[in-house]
Structure 1
């Protein structure tokens, strides 16, 4: 649907910059746990199972809150919902910063998970207050800054935690989130509520989706240990997962106001973006997890013995590439269409994965491969989100983009858990160093999975050129 922009409510560059700063800060806050998980396990006396729970709880709560945030943003206005959502995120960041033990830290992470819903709300604001052409570039910029913030969080978490304390690695990005939220509230005009379907929150659907995500993570995390020792338990988890998925689909198809409108998922532009996002993020998650592991392995094996600070430095080129990918993808989609940008991103992603599989004997090879993958992932995800956000009715922007972003979270979680399972299974008895072949196999499998996305890309429309 084509909408006429009211000149009186058009925003300026400062407002777009405020949303970009918010995306950068939330991306950083989202990513600080992963590189410092061993440190947190030591300081909080966590078991490996508790560490795994801490590493996925934000992803799970983010996947649950995102569809609700997008739906409420479409219904009540993006600014109102975004500011309230970021108040929860800020509270979670402060709780995590002050947490004296694991239960309190988990509570903070649960609240922080609401940050994943910030992106579809930001897209609602961009479309409401900018012309169509400018909104594509702005959405690309915001998406790129969120990705760049995630890389920046990975970069700074180790030095801050080692130089100051684990408390400050949560506190610093939280302070920026609070400031950026205040700027958004001041610089954006009140946006009128959109369409309302008159329904409330779909609590049964929310509960079933929660059960689905938790069970999926348990299956992926425990499969290597349970497959041989307790296959009956693993089989029971798989059956439970299937029951949760079936029940959720039934509820979402029948409830008057579903949490996730599956009719939206039936639209070709949306389901193709979701499939592509999932496949590409599974492939991207492999190097996100494996590259730091490879850099940290002892140099007398086949690693490089890098410290947390050194690893952050080695990932800096990837940070820059991921940050640039957002605006590049937005401009590329505007001039050449989304299909061209996604195809180019997939080709670069496969090249980077195969490059890491074939050559990883020098640091520069690993750094170059990771930077290429970060650029490719940013191009793909940003182009797909931008295409989806601008291919549906304006009142459906939040719902459609939230589906893509939930798929991104799921793909990343599946990719990380699967890569970790492969490494665990390859560790010889009496050793704590996985076989080098596990890294090669993981990179090759990720490249093969990513290549499959080209079959879906062929069916995409080229996309309008502005």
Structure 2
């Protein structure tokens, strides 16, 4: 059984945890768009054919897709901070390799190592869940989840500025520098989580999932070059289906699987992951369309004729708005729940793309589109980890969020392939060159709107919060009798003791039961032996928070699987004076 108790570091430096983890997330997300400003020049820079040069981008995408579930599971088993540092170190090595070469094969290796760092996103979300008090968790996870878009949005203008005024290899040295800073900050401010899963790492499962993902994503990213009906494309799709089915059968039989498919099949987890694909499609569409529209020459009749740097600055509000929506999300989610914020976010994305169909005539109009779509994606991305975390055990956080991040990556891959095909098939041929047409841009926006509409439908069917159907335990003057009666009718629920640092019971401590949406589902006072008992409205993940006069608060994550027997969870409190003395030392 996985360990379910949790010892947050609410009193030791949590203020530094959130910005450091968010910075790490933004750093690894930068790798995805680092070369976008020079993508059209890569064949010349690397001395190769255009079809070969695209591997420089494809390798990063494939490595990121493979790493997210694997690093998430490794973090659950061996420590999320440890795996976060390993991810950042791999990114630094990859950046240095790419920075010192112009050889295609070596460059692909370096870029793959850069992409492998994407596993830092779910690891950061897992660390936040384990280390932060509940009241800070919503906005923190929102910021970490949005770091994918924030990093991508901010990287565009900065990378364009560097590429326009310096050697393009400087991009990689800058990335290495960011990685080193992220490592140092993580070492200084982020503690290792005490929440770990038991078991061993599923090596065969990791190899099987990696093979299946590569076989699936490779034809998606290269289909436009090879042809969608080419035997190579169809053969890889068929092989991916066979490998993933066999992998799924194997995972169901393994005692400690890489991905718990039974958990993944839960309605809330499954629908959230499918909605994540749709949000990924919508997110990447704007990144593909607006930079090209802005940089096309005005002679086309619809291009806006802006420089590479100006185009990046016009799209930058996409990432900035995502970052600023994190605190807004926290307030909305606390009041209405993450399901409502996900729906709201996708509706705002739809409004942004819908208005974009008529706002393509000036650079300032693209900024409006970026702001509106960025606000919607920020809300949607922020909701996803909260929905996942509310449905899985604390010891599965890393793996579950890794899989969710993978779903977003699949969405961006599908978006890139479909919109790339649309723009290619609707291009205008001028002077022997194929230029994207306004018709193609509008179809791309319509595809993104359709994906959001599908996401809304999926989100509508997410299960609602179920209210308690059993009375919650309340303290009375006859505490022992009340506790005994509560345990008799408890059936399935939580029970345990609240103890002090010396192992002595803490009487009349308040134990609050918090459900997956952050709302109070019950409360109880401990008896003279520190005992409590709480009924649960339904099976699922909860947080038990204990408070007592003269003691620092403490919380523990725990999961009830709906059985008729109670789950034992003890909570240890530390005296405030003792804690202050430790801090002084």
TM-score strictly above 0.5? yes
What is the correspondence of 1:90-105 to structure 2 with a 5 Å cutoff? 90-105=92-107
CA 1:424–1:326 in structure 2 vs 1: closer, same or farther (change >3 Å)?
same
Alignment partner, residue 244 of structure 1: 243
Q: Does 1:158 align with 2:157?
A: no
Q: CA deviation at 1:8?
A: 7.8
Alignment partner, residue 295 of structure 2: 296
Of stretches 172-181 and 398-407 in structure 1, the one that deviates more from structure 2 is 172-181
Q: CA deviation at 1:392?
A: 2.1
CA 1:80–1:212 in structure 2 vs 1: closer, same or farther (change >3 Å)?
closer
CA 1:253–1:205 in structure 2 vs 1: closer, same or farther (change >3 Å)?
farther
1:172-230 residue CA offsets vs partner (Å, 9 max, x unmatched): 23212212212211223343361222x33433552453344344332453257635xx6
CA distance in 1, matches of 2:217, 2:124: 29
CA distance in 2, matches of 1:30, 1:433: 24
Q: CA deviation at 1:371?
A: 2.2
Of stretches 185-194 and 345-354 in structure 1, the one that deviates more from structure 2 is 185-194
Q: CA deviation at 1:60?
A: 1.0
Alignment partner, residue 203 of structure 1: 204
Q: CA deviation at 1:125?
A: 1.6
1:120-153 residue CA offsets vs partner (Å, 9 max, x unmatched): 1112221222112212222122233443122111
Moved over 4 A (4+): 1-4, 6-10, 230-234, 428-431
- 5+ long unaligned stretches in structure 2: 466-516, 520-585
What is the correspondence of 1:384-395 to structure 2 with a 5 Å cutoff? 384-395=384-395
1:220-258 residue CA offsets vs partner (Å, 9 max, x unmatched): 53257635xx65554434433332333332333334443
* Bigger share in strand: 2
CA distance in 2, matches of 1:381, 1:164: 34
Q: Secondary structure of the equivalent of 2:361?
A: coil
Q: Does structure 1 retain, via aligned residues, the 8 Å contact 2:219–2:233?
A: no
Alignment partner, residue 458 of structure 2: 456
Q: CA deviation at 1:154?
A: 1.3
CA 1:335–1:173 in structure 2 vs 1: closer, same or farther (change >3 Å)?
farther
CA distance in 1, matches of 2:205, 2:18: 37
1:425-451 residue CA offsets vs partner (Å, 9 max, x unmatched): 122565412332111112112212211
Q: Which has the higher contact order (CA 8 A, sep 6+)?
A: 1
Q: Secondary structure of the equivalent of 1:355?
A: helix
Q: Does 1:143 align with 2:145?
A: yes
Alignment partner, residue 278 of structure 2: 279
**TM-score, L = length of structure 1:** 0.92
Q: Does structure 2 retain, via aligned residues, the 8 Å contact 1:32–1:169?
A: yes
Q: Does structure 2 retain, via aligned residues, the 8 Å contact 1:390–1:397?
A: no
What is the correspondence of 1:14-53 to structure 2 with a 5 Å cutoff? 14-53=16-55
CA 1:391–1:425 in structure 2 vs 1: closer, same or farther (change >3 Å)?
same
CA 1:9–1:252 in structure 2 vs 1: closer, same or farther (change >3 Å)?
farther
Q: CA deviation at 1:10?
A: 4.3
**TM-score, L = length of structure 2:** 0.74
CA distance in 2, matches of 1:38, 1:100: 16
CA 1:246–1:325 in structure 2 vs 1: closer, same or farther (change >3 Å)?
same
Q: CA deviation at 1:303?
A: 0.8
1:376-420 residue CA offsets vs partner (Å, 9 max, x unmatched): 112101111222124421111111111110001110011011100
CA distance in 2, matches of 1:176, 1:234: 37
Q: Secondary structure of the equivalent of 1:432?
A: strand
Q: CA deviation at 1:6?
A: 5.0
Alignment partner, residue 216 of structure 1: 217
Q: Does 1:264 align with 2:268?
A: no
Q: Secondary structure of the equivalent of 2:304?
A: coil
CA 1:236–1:145 in structure 2 vs 1: closer, same or farther (change >3 Å)?
closer
CA distance in 1, matches of 2:225, 2:131: 50
Across the two proteins, how many residue pairs are aligned to each other? Answer: 463
Q: Does structure 2 retain, via aligned residues, the 8 Å contact 1:64–1:206?
A: no
Aligned match for 1:183, one of 182, 185, 205: 185
Of stretches 96-105 and 410-419 in structure 1, the one that deviates more from structure 2 is 96-105
Q: CA RMSD in A?
A: 2.4
1:310-360 residue CA offsets vs partner (Å, 9 max, x unmatched): 111212322321221333323322332111211111111111112222331
